[in-house]
Amino acid sequence: MVAANRKVDRRTLKTRAALLTAFRDLVLSHGYAEVAVGDIIRRAQIGRSTFYLHFASKQALLNHSLDVPSAGLAACVDRHIAAERLVPLLEHFRSQRHLNRVFFEDPIRSIWVYRLAALVGQKLRGRTAPSRLPPVLPRSFVASTIAEMQIAMITHWVRTAASVPAERVAVALLNNTRALLSSS
């Protein structure tokens, strides 16, 4: 992993981009389970030690690749997010649904839910409770439930109801997330 205090230079960015591109292309063509670190480094044309300098494992690379969509969905926990902010992400999911279907199937789907739950949990730690009453459910339970709901809703939408406008799905994601938060 790149150290947090080390300045990221263009070579590092280029290497990480090559790794992410190679990983994405291999996963989309062969499936996550079939891809090995050796396949990734050959496709990215880098050495094994360079791979491990940037990522601890294939799953760490997957987690990194899921950070951007997960951050967008985790933002639903924020009190003042507008549905319009989610629409570009949802439209991307819909437009890429045939190519990226592997991300909505296990094992990636389960890993994505876990990654999203971790980000939602971080956001929940930053929230101040609206009352002095103790929470009804543990934060980790709420975070996992929100992540499962969001990924399930998006998965169902891109597989069977893609004609529903992204704006309506964004509103439903926000409403369901807020309902889960208020009930916990």
73 and 50 within one domain: no
Instruction: Name the residue range of residue 157's domain.
Output: 57-183
pLDDT (0 to 100) of residue 173: 96
Instruction: Look up tokens 């190519």; give the residue.
Output: 99
72: left (phi over 0), alpha (psi -120 to 50) or beta: alpha
Task: Tell me what percent of the chain is helix, strand and coil, each rounded to the nearest 5.
Answer: 70, 0, 30
How many separate domains does the chain show? 2
- Per-residue pLDDT in tens (0 to 9) along the chain, 184 residues: 444 545 668 898 999 999 999 999 999 899 899 999 999 999 999 999 999 999 999 999 999 999 988 999 999 999 889 999 999 999 999 988 887 888 888 899 999 999 999 999 999 987 655 555 556 788 999 999 999 999 999 999 999 887 899 999 999 999 999 999 988 7
Q: Is 80 exposed, middle or buried (0-12, 13-18, 19+ CB in 10 A)?
A: exposed
Cβ atoms of 71 and 119 closer than 8 Å: yes
Point out the domain boundary residue: 13, 32, 56: 56
Shared domain check, 131 and 143: yes
Based on the domain organization, do 64 and 133 belong to the same domain? yes
Q: In terms of domains, do 79 and 100 share one?
A: yes
Residues 103 and 179 occupy one common structural domain: yes
Please indicate, yes or no, whether residues 67 and 33 belong to a single structural domain of this protein.
no
| pLDDT the model gives residue 135 | 67
174 is written with which tokens? 């926000």
H helix intervals, 35-130: 37-44, 48-54, 58-74, 87-95, 108-126
CA-CA distance, 31 to 21, in Å (whole number)? Answer: 14
pLDDT, residue 39, reads: 97
**pLDDT value of residue 134:** 59
Q: What is the pLDDT of residue 130?
A: 54
Residues 34, 104, single domain; the answer is no
Same-domain pairing of 13 and 83: no
Q: Let me know whether 177 and 92 are in one domain.
A: yes
Specify whether 75 is located in the same domain as 24: no
- How many angstroms separate the CA atoms of 109 and 152, rounded? 9
Helix or strand holding residue 128 (H, E): none
Quick one: 27 and 110 in the same domain?
no
Give the model's pLDDT for residue 2: 45
Which of residues 9, 41, 56 is at a domain's end? 56
pTM for this structure? 0.82
CA–chain centroid gap for 80, Å, is 21
C-alpha distance from residue 57 to each of 10, 52, 85 (Å): 22, 7, 32
Q: Are residues 120 and 141 in the same domain?
A: yes
pLDDT at 141: 93
φ/ψ (deg, to 5) at 162: -65, -15
* CATH number of the domain that residue 11 is part of: 1.10.10.60
